[in-house]
Amino acid sequence: MSFDTTTFWSKASKHLMKTGIPYSSAVIVKAKGTRLYDAESRQILDFTSGQMSSILGHSHPEIVQVIQKYAEELDHLLSSMVTPPVVNLAERLGRLLPPPLEKSFFLNTGGESVEAAIKIAKIYTGKFEVVAFSASYHGLTQGAVSATYAMGRKHGGPAMPGQLVFPAPNAYRSPFRKPDGSYDWEKDMDYGWSMIDTQSVGSLAAFVMEPILSTGGMLVLPKGYLKRMSIECKKRGMLLILDEAQTGVGRTGQIFAFQYDEGVVPDILCLSKTLGCGLPLSSVSTSAEIERGCNEAGFMWITTHYNDPLPAAVGDKVLEIVERDNICQRAAERGQQLLDGLLALQKKYWCIGDVRGRGLLLGIEIISDLKTKAPAAALGKTISDRALDCGLSCNIITFPGMGDVFRLAPPVTVTSEEIEEGLRILDAAFAYALGKHGLEN
């Protein structure tokens, strides 16, 4: 039976409320492994892992088995009831995390986990100021969006009191340069802290950040940056909150991206997206000392799906597979292959201003002028649309001041052949788009 696309979009237009996010033209009816299948039976290679989440691919057979088992036996309970899947996930996470991170609880989304982490930091420190990067994205609930500067701040009324912005480290665009022209991140950081110390009213509670700023343009913290940041936070009595929604659970080549800087351990770690492999699951992890301080101060957090058993069982299985199947190594190997291919495309197409990222979380910045590095929104959209038409889903972000950046994050189960297939489609899409816009290569 053929799919009636006209009727489908008519129903969508009538009954779905628009929330500021344009709909994709593809109507997806099935997702399996690294492939999406649309209503016209077309195969589309998924280079975004759904919403940057399905790290093991879509409908991984072991994940499907866990969902089926717990849908039948133990799906949802009163939030005060503790179940084996929740304890098992907390135990496994505690074993994988470095000390003193040993206490965890589980929620649904990344925004929710950041919201809880910010409340923990405020209660534990007794202070209220929260610092975040100028290209940050931590969610759209009130506390999380107040610490978000990449998008979503407009038209929602006042932000939470005490929100301070820190310049995001952008090696491609930063004005801070060493004599040899390379990025001087230490001077950039010094400038940022001078701004914070000037703005602060003396109540610094936390700095919340991503190890790689994905929505803000796939900005990578340089080696040593996070370690220095940790030291600066401790000097000021602040907690360091790391939001590893997209970077966690092996995608960058390490189980947690913060391990890139040796010796760094956050005060609070938030996981989401990749932990649930596409299911709504997030976690907040901290130390026994911070838990003790919060409990003494009367901390409370509860939601309808707090510590739900079904998603917890999925998260436990995800971590088991990541360990067992050497997912970190796979991410590093396939990521290097994809990076090499993107760098080759950069040499071929002048409009690729920069290629950056780690593991299988990579970005391509599209520009319209080599000298000014001006962004190229229209060109980027044409490339993205053409790639989708040719069978590749890749995500382009075009926020003002961020440039136009493709985010490439295939499932870590992607094969070498699929990486090459994606690169061929990108190659053709760049050539097509330059021609369509009348630009010489």
Instruction: Please tell me the predicted confidence (pLDDT) of residue 176.
Output: 96
Instruction: Please tell me the predicted confidence (pLDDT) of residue 256.
Output: 97
Q: pLDDT tens digit string along 325-381?
A: 999 999 999 999 999 999 999 999 999 999 999 999 999 999 999 999 998 988 998
Architecture of domain 74-324: 3-Layer(aba) Sandwich (3.40)
Collapsing DSSP states into helix, strand and coil, what is residue 181? coil
The catalytic position among 70, 124, 137, 183 is 137
Instruction: Please tell me the predicted confidence (pLDDT) of residue 439.
Output: 83
Of residues 156 and 254, more confidence is placed in: 254
Sign of the CA dihedral 418, 424, 430, 436? negative
Is-contact 218 394, C-beta < 8 A?
A: no
* Residue range(s) in the chain whose domain bears CATH number 3.40.640.10: 74-324
| Angstrom distance (rounded) from CA 102 to CA 317 | 19
Split at pLDDT 50, 70, 90, the class of 105 is: very high
Q: What is the mean pLDDT of residues 305-325?
A: 97
**Residue 402 above 60 pLDDT?**
no
| Angstrom distance (rounded) from CA 355 to CA 145 | 28
Residue type, 325: D
Return the number of other C-beta atoms located less than 10 Å from residue 235's C-beta.
Answer: 9
The answer for residues whose C-beta is within 8 angstroms of residue 351's C-beta and 6 or more apart is: 366, 367, 368, 376, 379, 430, 434, 439
Instruction: Please tell me the predicted confidence (pLDDT) of residue 34.
Output: 96
Instruction: Please tell me the predicted confidence (pLDDT) of residue 149.
Output: 87
Q: Model's pTM, two decimal places?
A: 0.95
Residue 363's φ and ψ, nearest 5 degrees, are -130, 150
Split at pLDDT 50, 70, 90, the class of 436 is: confident
Q: pLDDT tens digit string along 178-210?
A: 999 999 999 999 999 999 999 999 999 999 999
The DSSP letter of residue 306 is: T
Architecture of domain 5-60+326-436: Alpha-Beta Complex (3.90)
Q: pLDDT tens digit string along 38-50?
A: 998 899 999 999 9
Instruction: Please tell me the predicted confidence (pLDDT) of residue 168.
Output: 96
Instruction: Please tell me the predicted confidence (pLDDT) of residue 438.
Output: 81
H or E element in which residue 334 lies? helix 327-348
Q: pLDDT tens digit string along 213-253?
A: 999 899 999 999 999 999 999 999 999 999 999 999 999 99
User: Can you spell out the DSSP letters for 372-425?
Assistant: T--B-HHHHHHHHHHHHHTTEE-EEE--TTS-EEEEE---TT--HHHHHHHHHH
Instruction: Please tell me the predicted confidence (pLDDT) of residue 156.
Output: 78
Q: pLDDT tens digit string along 286-305?
A: 999 999 999 999 999 999 99
Average pLDDT across the chain, whole number: 94
- Of all residues in the chain, the percent with pLDDT exceeding 70 is 98
149 is catalytic: no
- Of all residues in the chain, the percent with pLDDT exceeding 90 is 83
